[in-house]
């Protein structure tokens, strides 16, 4: 499937632009992507290693860094698994059944994508904060939601809410209900049908959703920043620690943590590309 | 796509999954958002109006919406050029650059924020040469603009790319064989059929930039009335325990972004009816 990597145009495209314009368009596109996208990524690693490999690893093994890494992993594990269960349930209800208001429901599920991260945090402050609706009650019972792990988890679930459902719904709609109906009519239970018939069909789409959900959960900054309270060693996630260290001019430490998040982003992109190829292969061309 | 009338499904689990979906949706999304609007109703209209028309709030909203609009325009033009290069031409590293477009989606915003600030700081790789030209980017409104361009570019590219790929080459050939020159074909035949996708990409990039926080606040300088974005003003009001102020600004921003989604949905419906299916 290798394509000739040369300055040529696809053979089916008889009419194209003059060579000079072609060259200019490609040059502008590449230059723009290098300046705005590649260089920021390179800067992260250049800064992280600016004082050498030793300084880099000692920054990462700092207790504060380790605690932030642990908290980020914990928050991501909880919010991704909860959104996974919800996402599969939502996709099953939406893709396999017909009901009125389906489009509206999908719009509601998509809502967090169009809400500013800061507002995603603010809504939980209004519910659980000292001046919030349930704040006084929580205080009286000594339950900590805000400026504690539960608040961070809630805000993270909010911003990562649509990912799994969004990647499953189109896939499951396309696959229809025939295979599941056959399984049921042959006497399989609902759960058997899901795990033996549906799950193998949607596994790549499911992984795709979990991957994007996880990347966002680990990297979320705005929403978490509003609800976390920035308590060192307790409620600082990795992105929050990047901010704190940067504002304290501890650039090597800040960019060292940032480099871990950048590596996470790069791995996510590579796996995403692989999964997209798998999903394309699994795509059955429908001519009927 | 569809067209056949869907049958009633005989599959089990509708009640369970629908119940779970609605419960989770209410707990995580609907109740918290309703709380936001409820909080606003604690304010009288004059109080609400006073907050959002105060000089600092108006400046923040103007900066957020104005710069987002300008950045989305840049993304519209640059995104179109990038899509054209990726779809129509073959060049070394094409697939790599295609993947690179997604980096602003994948890179956590705080990481992007500190990286852009460092890159455009006065001693930074790009900041130093720009400083010699007398252009200061980091800690100025230009910095906000740059960060917004960074986070917006994948929206335009990923919205327009599939449409250009699916575009029927025969239409172009027909136009050419009818005597249209390339310039005419591109601007009269190809670009018009990309318009719905271009507008959608523009709106998505605009909406994202308006709400963006992490990648902007480091590079912005955050001077009230000059380089303070609306999301940051919400955070500042919260830290001062002025919840009402924070809520009022948030409601204005939310309503604006709902209007944008509404426009996007209309655009997509319009695109489906106006552009012939393939």
Average pLDDT over residues B58-85: 96
> Which of A7, A26, A122 shows the shortest C-beta gap to B250?
A122
Q: Is the pLDDT of residue A285 over 60?
A: no
For tokens 């271009």, what's the residue? B198
Do A180 and A198 touch, CB atoms closer than 8 A?
yes
B209: tokens are 């930039």
Contact by Cβ (8 Å): B234, B250: yes
CB A123 to CB B114 under 8 A? no
Q: Give the model's pLDDT for residue A282.
A: 66
Q: A270 or B8: whose pLDDT is higher?
A: A270
In tens, the pLDDT along A119-147 reads 999 999 999 988 888 888 998 898 999 99
Reading the block at residue B91, the tokens are: 């060049």
**ipTM, 2 dp:** 0.89
| Window 93-122 of B, Cβ < 8 Å to A | 93-94, 97, 99-104, 106-116, 118-119
Q: What is the mean pLDDT of chain A?
A: 90
The answer for residues whose C-beta is within 8 angstroms of residue A167's C-beta and 6 or more apart is: A205, A206, A208, A209, A212
Q: Where does chain B have alpha helices with state H?
A: 14-25, 31-41, 45-52, 55-88, 94-100, 103-106, 109-120, 127-132, 141-166, 169-177, 182-184, 191-211, 214-220, 230-239, 243-274
Closest by Cα among B253, B209, B204 to B37: B253
Average pLDDT over residues A182-207: 93
Residue in A with minimal Cα distance to B34: A123
pLDDT of residue A15: 58
- DSSP H or E stretch at residue B227: none
- A-B interface: how many C-beta pairs under 8 angstroms? 300
Q: How far apart are CA A140 and CA A120, in angstroms?
A: 25
Closest residue by Cα to residue A236 from A250, A251, A224: A224
Chain A environment of B212 (Cβ under 8 Å): 116-117
Mean pLDDT of chain B: 90
Give the chain A residue nearest B102 (alpha carbons).
A269
Q: Is it the case that residue B52 has pLDDT exceeding 50? A: yes
For testing contact with chain B, the best of A2, A40, A126, A256 (most B CBs within 10 A): A40
State the Cα–Cα distance between residues A225 and B214, nearest whole angstrom: 9
Q: In this structure, how many other beta carbons lie within 10 angstroms of the beta carbon of residue B150?
A: 28
Q: What percent of chain B has pLDDT over 90?
A: 72
Chain A CB contacts of B211 below 8 Å: 114-119
| Amino acid A250: pLDDT | 95
Q: What is the pLDDT of residue A114?
A: 87
Confidence of residue B274 (pLDDT cuts 50, 70, 90): low
| pLDDT score, position B227 | 94
pLDDT of residue A255 exceeding 50, the answer is: yes
Minimum CA–CA partner of A174 in chain B: B1
Tokens of B244: 């009402």
Q: Give B102-120 pLDDT, tens digit per residue.
A: 999 999 999 999 999 999 9
pLDDT tens track for A214-242: 999 999 999 999 999 888 888 999 999 99
Contact A260, A242 (CB under 8 A): no
Q: Do B31 and A118 touch (CB under 8 A)?
A: no
Distance CA B215, CA B221 (A): 12
Find the CB nearest B115 among A14, A41, A158.
A41
Residue A90 forms contact with B (CB below 8 Å): yes
**Are the beta carbons of B17 and A119 separated by less than 8 Å?**
no
How does pLDDT run across B118-164, given as a tens digit for each residue? 999 999 999 999 999 999 999 999 999 999 999 999 999 999 999 99
Structure tokens at B22: 């609605």
Supply the pLDDT for residue B51. Answer: 93
pLDDT band at B275, cuts 50/70/90? low
Structure tokens at A83: 């959104």
Query: Are the CB atoms for A155 and A224 separated by under 8 Å?
Result: yes
Q: Which of residues 148-207 of A touch B (CB under 8 A)?
A: 154, 157-158, 161, 177, 180-181, 184-185, 190, 193-194
Reported as a pLDDT band with limits 50, 70 and 90, residue A259 is very high
Instruction: Give pLDDT tens digits for A94-122.
Output: 999 999 999 899 989 999 988 999 999 99
The two tokens of residue B213 are 């926080």
What is the structure's pLDDT at A286? 42
Q: Nearest CA to A86 among A152, A168, A150, A153?
A: A168
Calculate helix-pair angle for B141-166, B109-120, nearest 10 degrees: 120
Task: Please determine, for residue B276, whether its predicted confidence score (pLDDT) is greater than 70.
Answer: no
Give residue-wise pLDDT tens across range A55-84.
999 999 999 999 999 999 999 999 999 999
Q: What are B38's two structure tokens?
A: 């409820």
Would you call B8 an interface residue with chain A, using a CB distance cutoff of 8 Å? Answer: yes
E strands in A195-284: none
**Nearest-by-CA chain A residue for B205:** A114
Confidence of residue B258 (pLDDT cuts 50, 70, 90): confident
Spatial distance between the Cα atoms of A192 and A214, rounded to a whole number of angstroms: 27
Nearest to B104 by CA among B112, B92, B116, B96: B112
CA angle A230, A232, A236 (to 5 degrees): 55
A156 contacts A75 by C-beta, under 8 angstroms: yes
Q: pLDDT band at B7, cuts 50/70/90?
A: very low
C-alpha span between A212 and A80 (Å, rounded): 10
- Using the Cβ of A253 and the Cβ atoms of chain B, whether some distance falls under 8 Å is answered with no
Q: Which two tokens stand for residue A9?
A: 């145009």
Q: Which of chain B's residues have a Cβ under 8 Å away from the Cβ of A43?
A: 115, 118-119, 124-125
In a mutagenesis test of the B interface, which of A3, A21, A26 is the best target, namely the one with the most B β-carbons within 10 Å?
A: A26
Contact A89 B97 (CB under 8 A): no
Judged by DSSP in three states, B7 sits in coil
Q: In angstroms, what CA-CA distances link A2 with A11, A246, A276, A279, B98?
A: 15, 44, 18, 20, 16
Give residue A148's region: left, alpha or beta (phi > 0; psi -120 to 50).
Answer: beta
Q: Give the residues across from B90 on adjacent strands.
A: A8
Residue pLDDT, tens place only, B178-193:
877 888 888 888 888 8
Q: Which residues, at least 6 apart from B160, have a Cβ–Cβ distance to it below 8 Å?
A: B79, B80, B83, B194, B197, B198, B201
Q: How far is B220 from chain A (nearest CA, A)?
A: 13
Q: Is B41 exposed, middle or buried (0-12, 13-18, 19+ CB in 10 A)?
A: exposed
Q: What DSSP string runs through A109-169?
A: HHGGGGS-HHHHHHHHHHHHSTTSSSHHHHHHTT---TTSHHHHHHHHHHHHTHHHHHHHH
Q: Is A274 on the interface with B (CB under 8 A)?
A: no
* Contact between B109 and A219 using a beta-carbon 8 Å cutoff: yes
pLDDT higher than threshold 70 for residue B1: no
Integer Cα distance of B154 and B104 in angstroms: 7
Q: A233: which DSSP letter?
A: T
């Amino acid at each position: 499937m290798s394509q000739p990597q040369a300055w040529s145009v696809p053979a089916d495209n008889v009419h194209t632009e003059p060579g000079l314009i072609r060259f200019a368009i490609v040059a502008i596109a590449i230059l723009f992507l290098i300046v705005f996208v590649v260089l920021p990524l390179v800067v992260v690693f250049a800064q992280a290693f600016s004082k050498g490999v030793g300084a880099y690893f000692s920054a990462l093994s700092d207790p504060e860094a380790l605690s932030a890494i642990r908290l980020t992993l914990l928050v991501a594990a909880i919010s991704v698994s909860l959104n996974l269960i919800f996402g599969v349930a939502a996709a099953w209800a939406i893709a396999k059944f017909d009901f009125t208001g389906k489009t509206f429901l999908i719009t509601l599920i998509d809502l967090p994508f169009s809400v500013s991260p800061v507002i995603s945090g603010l809504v939980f402050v209004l519910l659980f904060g000292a001046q919030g609706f349930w704040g006084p009650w929580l205080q009286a019972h000594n339950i900590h939601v805000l400026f504690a792990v539960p608040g961070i988890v809630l805000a993270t679930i909010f911003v990562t809410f649509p990912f799994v459902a969004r990647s499953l719904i189109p896939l499951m709609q396309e696959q229809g209900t025939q295979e599941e109906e056959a399984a049921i009519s042959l006497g399989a239970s609902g759960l058997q049908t899901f795990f033996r018939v549906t799950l193998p069909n949607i596994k790549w789409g499911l992984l795709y959703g979990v991957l994007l959900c996880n990347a966002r959960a680990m990297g979320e900054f705005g929403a978490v920043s509003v609800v976390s309270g920035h308590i060192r060693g307790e409620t600082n996630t990795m992105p929050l620690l990047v901010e704190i260290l940067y504002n304290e001019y501890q650039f090597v430490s800040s960019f060292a943590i940032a480099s871990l998040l950048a590596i996470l982003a790069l791995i996510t992109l590579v796996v995403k590309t692989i999964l997209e190829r798998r999903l394309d292969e699994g795509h059955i061309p429908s001519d009927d | 796509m569809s067209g056949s009338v869907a049958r009633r499904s005989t599959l089990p689990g509708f009640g369970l999954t629908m119940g779970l979906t609605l419960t989770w949706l209410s707990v995580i999304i609907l109740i918290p958002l309703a709380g936001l609007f409820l909080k606003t109703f604690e304010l009288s209209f004059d109080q609400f109006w006073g907050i959002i028309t105060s000089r600092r709030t108006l400046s923040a909203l103007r900066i957020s919406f104005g710069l987002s609009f300008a950045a989305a325009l840049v993304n519209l033009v640059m995104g179109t050029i990038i899509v054209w290069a990726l779809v129509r031409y073959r060049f070394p590293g094409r697939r790599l650059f295609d993947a690179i477009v997604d980096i602003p989606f994948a890179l956590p915003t705080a990481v992007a924020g500190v990286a852009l600030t460092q890159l455009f700081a006065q001693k930074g790789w790009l900041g130093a040469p720009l400083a010699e030209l007398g252009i200061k980017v980091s800690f100025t409104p230009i910095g906000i603009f740059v960060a917004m361009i960074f986070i917006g570019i994948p929206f335009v590219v990923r919205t327009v790319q599939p449409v250009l790929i699916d575009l029927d080459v025969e239409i172009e050939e027909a136009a050419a064989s009818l005597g249209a020159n390339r310039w005419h074909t591109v601007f009269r035949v190809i670009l018009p059929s990309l318009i719905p996708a271009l507008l959608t990409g523009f709106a998505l990039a605009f909406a994202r930039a308006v709400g963006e926080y992490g990648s902007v606040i480091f590079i912005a300088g955050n001077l009230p009335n000059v380089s303070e974005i609306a999301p940051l003003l919400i955070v500042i009001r919260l830290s001062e325990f002025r919840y009402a102020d924070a809520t009022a600004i948030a409601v204005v921003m939310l309503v604006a972004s709902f209007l944008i989604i509404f426009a996007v949905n209309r655009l997509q419906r319009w695109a489906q009816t106006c552009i012939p299916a393939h």
